[in-house]
């Protein structure tokens, strides 16, 4: 177990980790502060070295393969303990060196030129709409919801999110709207149903998403005003009064931030407004989880706010409003994981047990990033003019109230 045991002694400051090694010996690593009590069994002695060298990648792979299991505790307990102790792991000498090296090459890890970006998106989003239906809300929104109450259902919270973002766009009748990374279309469709006479174009790199989004537009009778295209946003040339992007910026890659905001500037009309909804983090610039990058989101990265503001400033855009959703994504992911577990047997039939374990690890570890880690979601409102929207934020609340009344009038219930 040495040198893994040496690292674990330094790592566990909160809670207790008992490790049963491949030879059946038990090693106890206890922190000075109370926390989760986890018993982990390792069945492969090669894990001692891989966990020491790259714990985040090796732990995920070991759980997926069944070489790591838990007794009298759960994967959630382990990932909670891991998250609560993440800073002490990062300060361990070897990990500090390896993370510094990773930061040095992150621009190459996150390269997303046209063509490669579509391959990276397809890796995650084109595995089948039927799978996503098993754990997302009925509208299939795959981004942070907005919980105005702990009693909100997932469907209610996702509609709250649509309403909040639409209110921040300060829409006017007849405007042209672009949705960059439109997913399965609910944001664009909500705008088409709520705003008078707007024309909405949604672009995505996922064939599965584009097909279903256009089917939904046709079913709602909105195909004449809301359309979806399989297209990279960088290929667009027409200008728009409003631009929205929800959960797509995480796939841009830090080396492409300047390109992204330069294109936003190019596509916006002179008095246009953009609303960017993205995951970020409150800590200094870092790198993406190696396990997440390899198995879930190749090329993705959740930025430090300093990285985003720098790129915005360099492209002559005003940040006219900024809001932070701190725990809302933790709540969203908890709903997704509960629904995933309720349909786990179906997922196993569709794919296999290893796939189920991979998604369990992803959903719970992502929740911990927002519950006890440094992740957050931010709304950044951008424009070319400082007075493109009212200078007092009351209009956002007023518009939300008006939209609630309009939803009732038009029978628009949470999806």
- Domains defined along the chain, listed by start: 4-104 (no CATH), 116-410 (3.40.50.150)
Q: Supply the DSSP symbol for 37.
A: E
pLDDT tens for 302-335 read 999 999 999 999 999 999 999 999 999 999 999 9
pLDDT band at 96 (very low <50, low <70, confident <90, very high): low
Rounded CA separation 77/127 (Å): 29
Is residue 118 scored above 60 in pLDDT? yes
3-state class (DSSP) for residue 38: strand
Is residue 232 scored above 90 in pLDDT? yes
Percent of the chain residues topping a pLDDT of 90: 81
pLDDT tens for 141-177 read 999 999 999 999 999 999 999 999 999 999 999 999 9
Is residue 108 scored above 90 in pLDDT? no
Give the pLDDT of residue 98: 62
Residue at token pair 């040495």? 2
pLDDT tens for 349-381 read 999 999 999 999 999 999 999 999 999 999 999
Give the pLDDT of residue 276: 98
Q: By mean pLDDT, which of 178-187, 249-258, 271-280, 393-402 is the weakest?
A: 249-258
Record the pTM.
0.92
Instruction: Kindly report the average pLDDT of the chain as a whole number.
Output: 92
279 forms beta bridges with: 377
DSSP states of 292-350: HHHHT-TT--PPBHHHHHHHHHTTT-EEEEEEEESSHHHHHHHHHHHHHHHTHHHHHHH
Percent of the chain residues topping a pLDDT of 70: 92
DSSP states of 210-260: HHHHHHHHHHTT-TTTEEEEE--GGG--S-EEEEEEES-GGGT-GGGHHHH
Give the pLDDT of residue 413: 83
| Residue 383 near residue 320, CB atoms below 8 Å | yes
Q: By mean pLDDT, which of 100-109, 209-218, 284-293 is the weakest?
A: 100-109
Rounded CA separation 50/356 (Å): 23
Give the pLDDT of residue 103: 58
Q: Which two tokens stand for residue 281?
A: 């983090």
């Amino acid at each position: 177990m040495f040198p893994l045991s040496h690292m674990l002694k330094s790592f566990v400051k909160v809670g207790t980790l008992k490790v049963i090694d491949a030879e059946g010996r038990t090693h106890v690593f206890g922190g000075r502060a109370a926390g989760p009590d986890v018993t982990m069994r390792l069945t492969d002695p090669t894990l001692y070295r891989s966990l020491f060298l790259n714990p985040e990648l090796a732990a995920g792979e070991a759980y997926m393969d069944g070489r790591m299991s838990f007794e009298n505790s759960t994967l959630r307990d382990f990932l909670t303990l891991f998250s609560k102790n993440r800073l002490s792991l990062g300060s361990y000498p070897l990990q500090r060196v390896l993370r510094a090296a990773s930061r040095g090459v992150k621009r190459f890890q996150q390269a997303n030129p046209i063509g490669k970006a579509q391959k990276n998106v397809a890796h995650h989003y084109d595995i089948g709409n039927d799978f996503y239906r098993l754990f997302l809300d009925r509208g299939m929104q795959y981004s942070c919801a907005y919980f105005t109450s702990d009693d909100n259902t997932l469907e209610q919270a996702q509609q709250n999110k649509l309403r909040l973002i639409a209110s921040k766009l300060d829409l006017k009748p007849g405007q042209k709207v672009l949705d960059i990374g439109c997913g399965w279309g609910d944001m664009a469709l909500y705008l088409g149903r709520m705003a008078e006479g707007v024309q909405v174009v949604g672009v995505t790199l996922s064939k599965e998403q584009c097909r279903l989004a256009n089917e939904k537009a046709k079913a709602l009778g909105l195909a004449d005003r809301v359309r979806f295209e399989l297209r990279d946003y960088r290929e667009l040339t027409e200008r728009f009064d409003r631009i929205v992007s929800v959960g797509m910026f995480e796939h841009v890659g830090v080396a492409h931030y300047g390109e992204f905001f330069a294109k936003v500037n190019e596509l916006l009309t002179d008095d246009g407004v953009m609303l960017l909804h993205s995951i970020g983090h409150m800590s200094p610039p870092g790198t993406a989880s190696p396990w997440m990058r390899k198995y879930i989101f190749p090329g993705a990265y959740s930025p430090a706010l300093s990285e985003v503001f720098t790129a915005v400033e360099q492209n002559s855009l005003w940040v006219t409003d900024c809001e932070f959703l701190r725990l809302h994504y933790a709540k969203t992911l908890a709903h997704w994981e509960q629904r995933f577990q309720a349909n786990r047997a179906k997922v196993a039939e569709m794919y296999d047990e290893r796939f189920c374990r991979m998604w369990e690890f992803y959903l719970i570890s992502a929740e911990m990033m927002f519950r006890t880690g440094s992740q957050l979601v931010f709304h950044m409102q951008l424009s070319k003019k400082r007075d493109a929207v009212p200078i007092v934020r009351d209009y956002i609340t007023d518009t939300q109230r008006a939209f609630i009344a309009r939803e009732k009038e038009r029978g628009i219930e949470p999806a």
